[in-house]
Amino acid sequence: MSMRHREFRIAPMVTLPAICRRTRPRASSIRRPREPGPQPSPRHEVVHLVPGARIADGRYRLLVFHGGAPPLQFWQALDTALNRQVALTFVDPDGALAEEQLHAILSRTMRLSRINRPGIARVLDVVHTGAGGLVVAEWVRGGSLQEVADTAPSPVGAARAMQSLAAAAEAAHQVGVALSIDHPSRVRVSITGDVVLAFPATMPDATPEDDIRGIGAALYALLVNRWPLPEAGVRSGLAPPTAIRLASPSNPASSTRDTVPDFRGGCARGPGGRRNTQCLNTFESPATSDRGRRPHRPAEPHQGIAPPPDAPSRFGVSTTVDDEVAARHRRILIGGISAAVAVIAVVLLLLASVLGRIFGDVGGGLDKDRLGLNAPTSTTSSATGSAVAGSTVKPVKATVFSPGGDPDSPGQAGLAIDGNPTTAWSTDTYNDAVPFPSFKSGVGLLLQLPTPTVVGNVTIDISSTGTKVQLRSSPTPTPARLEDTAILTPPTPLQPGHNSIPVKAASPTSNLLVWISTLGSTAGKSRADISEITVQAAS
């Protein structure tokens, strides 16, 4: 079994209220939920959902609890068979649902496995365990909605990041199922800047209209760090919205309206009575969603404060203290309405500018720097133009590129370009003799060059034997996948010590990837230490 050493860390034990009911003999893992049938006799073991617990015959080890809304629980777990992290959604672990309801949730969730979009975590398995249900999905690396909202992302960045989730909702609606975006803990922001449904499980009463509301609530949360919809179950930590009360003297019971718009309005119904998600760029604000109400019109004066007819002023106009109070209330009302309309207009403009382009720019994820997942860096390009031919180009920054898993020693990446041969960046130590590509596709160092450079030669000082390195270029400093980079050289075997790799590049690049496609060994262990990388411009 392939596993890196550091994956054996177990999260601290915490006390959780939810405990699985006694389980019946576990059915074998199935790809489709089975029909209700006779119930076997219960066993005498009780499985507690706590960090460190093993479930499904030891296949998954629970790591971190991420909340949930009844009857769901969201967990980050380790697949011990494949040594990868997964997202587990437990459906009705307390056994409160009827078998028909459980079957409805699992069957609807199975339909989400047909959707391959960045806005939804890929569903790997849907299992009827006999004591409830279990949905296994790919783990979304990144941050929770609250963690990203705490970084105060820019409004444009937050709106663009919503494209992936909106596109996934559209794809789900086309196959006749909703995403069920009903809780902030369901949503995460990936390291590529996409807002993703991280814990798929569609409730029986979920509708496309609910998804539209959930998409709007997620954007609202990123913008103002508050969740505007009711939150059941374990709270996410996001505060509820701040209400703006627009009450007039004539109607003290005027409703309290949140500044988040109601995204259900204005969407034409498609075949089967479902609302089409393509109309997300035409929204109805709370000020216009209630028929018959005109909140922009000042309230009429209260009939109970009219002055007596025998109290005229010396100018022939009846004035009392109550009239002045009513006038002051009207001015405050008009000012409050104007402020609310301004806030709503800003949110609508942001939504219209991005969600209206769902089919034009979906898939171009926003990188994590623009969403605030990374701390700002002070490194900037010192000059423009190409490097001098034949000169040595010193990279200004080195980062670990590991699209298939967690980065190896990310804090040591700069040691490979510091000019000191006694320091080195080290990969993780793997148990497999050949961990790439069986464990993950590989790992590398992405070097940012000070100017666009036509690379002519790269020198690598390494400690291991049997390691193969491929040089690639990237159009951006944060590529999401290896396929987003271009090949400069084929995989080249390296020997311990000094290795020179010639490059026949035709165009300049500012981002050079040193990609370890095959990991050799150092002192009998599957690891490599790169002490220095030198880049030379083509002559």
How far is residue 49's CA from residue 131's CA, in Å, rounded to a whole number? 13
Can you spell out the DSSP letters for 437-481?
TTT-S-EEEEEEEEEEE-EEEEEEEE--BS-EEEEEE-SSSS-SS
Given a contact cutoff of 8 angstroms between Cβ atoms, the answer to whether 120 and 180 are in contact is: no
Q: What is the pLDDT of residue 202?
A: 94
Q: Is 364:151 a contact under the CB 8 Å cutoff?
A: no
Tell me if 414 sits within 8 A of 398, measured CB to CB: yes
Q: For 323-356, what is each residue's pLDDT tens digit?
A: 666 666 666 666 666 666 666 666 665 565 555 5
Segments of the chain scoring below 70 in pLDDT:
1-47, 236-237, 242-387
Closest CA to 219 of 269, 181, 268: 181
205 dihedral zone (left: phi>0; alpha: psi -120 to 50; beta): alpha
> What pLDDT sits at residue 459?
95
Q: Which amino acid type is present at position 116?
A: N
Give residue 331's pLDDT: 66
Domains and CATH numbers, the chain: 5-138 (3.30.200.20), 243-349 (no CATH), 392-537 (2.60.120.260)
**pLDDT at res. 244:** 45
What end-to-end distance do the CA atoms of the chain give, in Å? Answer: 48
Which residue bears the tokens 């699985």? 20
Q: How far apart are CA 7 and CA 3, in angstroms?
A: 7
For the chain, how are helix, strand and coil distributed in percent, rounded to 5?
25, 25, 50
Which residue(s) pair with 144 in the sheet?
A: 188
Looking at residue 358, its pLDDT comes to 45
Q: How far apart are CA 50 and CA 35, in angstroms?
A: 30
539 strand-pairing partners: none
CA–CA gap between residue 167 and residue 479 (Å, rounded): 21
Q: What is the pLDDT of residues 389-437, one digit of tens each?
A: 778 899 999 999 998 778 899 889 999 999 898 999 999 988 877 888 7
Distance from C-alpha of 39 to C-alpha of 130, rounded to nearest angstrom:
8
DSSP secondary structure of 128-193: E-SSSEEEEEE---EEEHHHHHHT---HHHHHHHTHHHHHHHHHHHHTT-------GGGEEEETTS
User: CA 251, 253, 259, 261 torsion: positive or negative?
Assistant: negative
Q: Report the pLDDT value the prediction gives residue 130, as an integer from 0 to 100.
A: 76
**Predicted confidence (pLDDT) per residue in 432-486, tens digit:** 778 887 778 899 999 999 999 999 999 999 998 999 999 999 999 989 899 999 9
- The C-alpha atoms of residue 138 and residue 390 are separated, in whole angstroms, by 46
* pLDDT on residue 335: 63
